[in-house]
Structure 1
Amino acid sequence: MLSVLSDYWRLLLSFLLALIIGWNLRVPVFRMAILKNFVDKPNKRSSHTGAVPNIGGVIVFVAFLVSFVLFACFKEVAELQYVLLGAILIFFVGIYDDFLQISPRKKLKGEMLGVIVLMVGGDFYFDNLHGFLGFDYISPWVGIPLTFIALVGLVNAINLIDGIDGLSSGVVLMDTFFFGWWFYHIGDMEYALLCITLVASIIPFFVINLFGKRSKMFMGDSGALMVGYLLGVMAIKVCRESINHIAGFDLPAAPAVVFSVLAIPVLDTLRLFASRWMQGKSPFAPDKRHLHHKLLTIYNGVHRKATFTILAMNLVFILIGYWGRNSSNELIILVDIVLFAVLFFIIDRIAKRKLAKQAAG
């Protein structure tokens, strides 16, 4: 609607509008959640006490949807309408689960539907691996299944790290800001707009989730699934548009750069899935062995310390990816995996020693 404005004004006004909408929605959404009993009650796996509203994703969704629809130029980028449609579908799958607790299988089917709409309607999938494992341009027969697995996997990875205050929203904030910065500098203003609007939509929730006392809310599946999906869309777009740009912003090793940006949720989820599989358990079986659970043990349950530690780690991985953008994909990914393994080993050892001391009295 307002896409006739200059790029600068579209970016600025969309950011401000999303920020204002998100901030002003926090109180009415909180009150509605309390009134309708849309709350998360603590259980043996919870790291919080007391019933906390779990529909904070509504704030992110409404702020993003209104602002992006107003300022995006859908005619410029054909797949944008399908990006948005997929996000809407996945949001409603999440909100349905927040309200009624649907089975994991039904939720997964809903996520798959949103991803399929994007790939088929928007003709949007990986088409270039930029030399990773010797592959450059790839056919749709390879790109479509790869995109499907990557997007559905990332949606769930972001949801799975949504276990402590500010973590999933903070990681998505940082990663989205990086992608938005890159899109802006290569001149892809529609995806820069998508990123900056999502950043502004998440900020109010991040503040109340991490620092709120009386009005604390959780993102819920509605928010975590949607932002995970949008983050995945950005990652794929980076791989599709990573060469022949302004000097200093080409990403010859685009898959590895994207992997670095997403390393924390992806590697922690893969580690857990592998561990559960080796123990004969379902990969989706809940437990308290995430990276953030280890840090909560070290920090005596203080969420902010655990969250900011992981965000600092996330920044390191982002910098590794960008600084190594001219290296080989395999080398950067290997560095990411080794660094994550070392960091997790150290954190796990410290957490176990602390538990042993507590048990010994």
Structure 2
Amino acid sequence: MQFSVVITSAMLSALTMPFILNFAHSKKLYDVAGGRKNHDGNIPRLGGLGMFLAFAAMVTVFSIVQTGPVSRELASRGDKLWPFAVGAALMYFIGLLDDLKAQPARLKLAVQIAAALVVVAGGYGFRGFGFRADVLSGQLSWLSIVITMGWIVGVANAVNFIDGLDGLAGSLSFIAAIAFGIFYYQAGDALSSFLCLSIAGVIVGFLFFNFPVPKAKLFMGDSGSLFLGFSLAVMPFLGLAQAGTTLEALPGAAESQLLGLGLFPSITLLALPVFDALRVIALRIMEGRNIMSADRYHIHFLFADSGVKPLAILAILGVAAAVQAMVVLLVASMPQSLGYLLMLISIGILLILFRYAMSLKPDKAC
């Protein structure tokens, strides 16, 4: 696999961050401390700008300079990838506006729905529940549209929700992007793998400035979390551009395999942020509060409030996310029934971790 893609995009991302830091400090564009925020001091929140620009530059420069199979696929499949480009831009820009000045929740939701509609209108969505086409591409194709819309908006917000601890949202997004990149590489889809690995790389460049060692210098902001969340949400569909959204198999895939990941593998791969968001939303609804209100119900806050150190929390949740990713990559080549069983087991183990976190008692010294 071309790990050079990750390294190159990481370097591009890392090189942009000092300029963004200087700009944010000069304009006093800081993340406001207090409430559920764990930081103090003036920390800029425009890391998403660096990641977005680095990714755009990576794709543009690579398509012009590089002469290998990826650039050729970019030329031949570029017109089929416009829904992802438009949707990602919409998500990024509404996040950037919110970083600069708080935007109404209804406006942000409307733009997110519009971005999801662009993807669905482009002919993309879940074609199956597992790794093969099934009723979601047949008599229940209408259900695929509903699920896909909810999935894109939900994952984008799930990544935004879990961005409450330095390095966490970036680390979890990196693990998922790498897993998607490996999946497409193994399936023989070089372009989809390139796009996923480029996203993983720009996250690495950002993490150099966001990791809590000793403390973060830069936050990704809503522009970063919504851009990454949208990108992760559409990664299961990237392979559908291989043959114009038909169900033809990839060069290295079995004839019955999809050109992307189905619903259950995608949920398994992103189970940690998705389940965390669903659990917190359910708790807020039961308490009669706005689902977007701030609190400390997220799994990382449960660990932090019990006295667990930030690096230990990152290690625990990072390992949990990596296990989910490895399970999906493992079951991709297995009989589907056995794959479902292993995915259910891995999700069950993750739910045990959530149950453990919920049982922790707050440390009065925190």
**Given the alignment of the two structures, is residue 94 of structure 1 paired with residue 95 of structure 2, yes or no?**
yes
1:291–1:74 distance in 2 versus 1, CA, 3 Å: farther
1:261–1:242 distance in 2 versus 1, CA, 3 Å: farther
Aligned to 1:84: 85
2-structure distance, mates of 1:105, 1:336: 35
2-structure distance, mates of 1:322, 1:131: 11
**2:179, 2:329 within 8 Å by CA — same for their partners in 1?**
no
Could you give the per-residue CA deviations for residues 194-244 of structure 1, whole angstroms, max 9, x where no partner exists?
Answer: 011111111111121004558710000001000110101112346987967
Worse-matched range after superposition: 96-105 or 310-319 = 310-319
2-structure distance, mates of 1:249, 1:346: 42
The SS at the match of 2:296 is coil
Q: Choose the corresponding residue for 2:294, options 259, 277, 286.
A: 286
Q: Write out aligned runs for 1:134-173 (5 A).
A: 135=135, 137-138=137-138, 139-173=140-174
Aligned to 1:296: 304
Worse-matched range after superposition: 311-320 or 236-245 = 236-245
Aligned to 2:356: 346
Aligned to 1:31: 22
**1:55, 1:222 within 8 Å by CA — same for their partners in 2?**
yes
Aligned to 2:58: 67
2-structure distance, mates of 1:52, 1:271: 29
Could you give the per-residue CA deviations for residues 128-160 of structure 1, whole angstroms, max 9, x where no partner exists?
Answer: 33499x845335422222211110110000000
1-structure distance, mates of 2:214, 2:88: 30
- For residue 339 of structure 1, what is the amino acid of its counterpart? I
How far did 1:169 drift? 0.7
**2:131, 2:257 within 8 Å by CA — same for their partners in 1?**
no
Aligned to 1:4: none
**Given the alignment of the two structures, is residue 265 of structure 1 paired with residue 273 of structure 2, yes or no?**
yes
1:108–1:242 distance in 2 versus 1, CA, 3 Å: farther
1-structure distance, mates of 2:5, 2:327: 30
Q: Identity percentage over the alignment?
A: 25
The SS at the match of 2:129 is strand
Aligned to 2:115: 114
1:137–1:211 distance in 2 versus 1, CA, 3 Å: same
Q: Write out aligned runs for 1:1-361 (5 A).
A: 14-72=5-63, 73-76=74-77, 78-120=79-121, 122-130=122-130, 135=135, 137-138=137-138, 139-211=140-212, 216-237=217-238, 246=252, 254-300=262-308, 302-325=309-332, 326-328=335-337, 331-332=341-342, 334-349=344-359, 351-352=360-361, 354-355=362-363, 358=364
**1:94, 1:225 within 8 Å by CA — same for their partners in 2?**
yes
1-structure distance, mates of 2:152, 2:146: 10
Could you give the per-residue CA deviations for residues 138-190 of structure 1, whole angstroms, max 9, x where no partner exists?
Answer: 35422222211110110000000000011111011001001101111211111
**2:129, 2:264 within 8 Å by CA — same for their partners in 1?**
no
Unmatched 5+ stretches in structure 1: 1-7
How far did 1:294 drift? 1.1
Worse-matched range after superposition: 156-165 or 74-83 = 74-83
- For residue 347 of structure 1, what is the amino acid of its counterpart? A
- For residue 125 of structure 2, what is the amino acid of its counterpart? Y
- For residue 124 of structure 2, what is the amino acid of its counterpart? F
Unmatched 5+ stretches in structure 2: 64-73
How far did 1:191 drift? 0.6
Aligned residues: 344
How far did 1:260 drift? 1.3
1:65–1:306 distance in 2 versus 1, CA, 3 Å: same
1:37–1:279 distance in 2 versus 1, CA, 3 Å: same
2-structure distance, mates of 1:316, 1:215: 26
1-structure distance, mates of 2:248, 2:118: 24
The SS at the match of 1:208 is helix
2-structure distance, mates of 1:268, 1:277: 14
**1:175, 1:262 within 8 Å by CA — same for their partners in 2?**
yes
Aligned to 1:3: none
1:140–1:29 distance in 2 versus 1, CA, 3 Å: same
**1:86, 1:117 within 8 Å by CA — same for their partners in 2?**
yes
How far did 1:116 drift? 1.6
How far did 1:336 drift? 4.2
2-structure distance, mates of 1:317, 1:131: 16
- For residue 109 of structure 1, what is the amino acid of its counterpart? A
Could you give the per-residue CA deviations for residues 42-74 of structure 1, whole angstroms, max 9, x where no partner exists?
Answer: 112111111210111111011001111233514
